[in-house]
Structure 1
Amino acid sequence: MAAWEPDVLGDDYEQLTLPLAPDAEGDVVATLVRRRRAGDDPYLDVLYVHGWSDYFFQTDLADFWEAHGARFHALDLRKYGRSLRPGQTPGYVTDLSTYDEDIEAALAAMGHDGAEGSGRALVLMGHSTGGLTLSLWLARHPGRAAALVLNSPWLEFQTREVGRLLLEPVIGARARLTPTRRLPSVDLGFYTRSVSKDFGGEWTYDLAWRPQHGFPTTPAWLAAIFRGQQTVALGLSLGAPVLVLLSARSTLLPRWSPEMLRTDTAIDVDGVARRCVQLGDLVTLARLDGALHDVLLSARPVRALAYGRIAQWAAAYLPRPAPAVEPDPRARR
Structure 2
Amino acid sequence: MSRRSFIAGLLSAPVALSRPSWAQSFPSRPIRLLVPVPAGSVPDVIARLLAQRLAEQWPVPVVVENRPGAGGAIGVEAAIRAPADGHVLLLGSSGPIAILPAVNRRLSYDPLRDLVPVARCADFPLIFLASVSSGLRSFEDLLDRARSSGEMLDYAGGDLGSTQHLSGALLVRQAGIRLNHVPYRGGGLAQADLIAGRLPVMVDSLTAVLRTIQDGKAIPLAVCGAQRASQLPHVPTVAESVPGYESTGWMGVFAPAAVPWQIVARVSALCTGLIGDPALAARIVAAGSDPMPQPASEFRAFVAAELVKWAQLAGSAGIAIE
Q: Same fold (TM over 0.5)?
A: no
TM-score w.r.t. the length of structure 2 is: 0.34
Normalising by structure 1, we get a TM-score of 0.33
- Bigger RCO (CA 8 Å, 6+ sep): 2
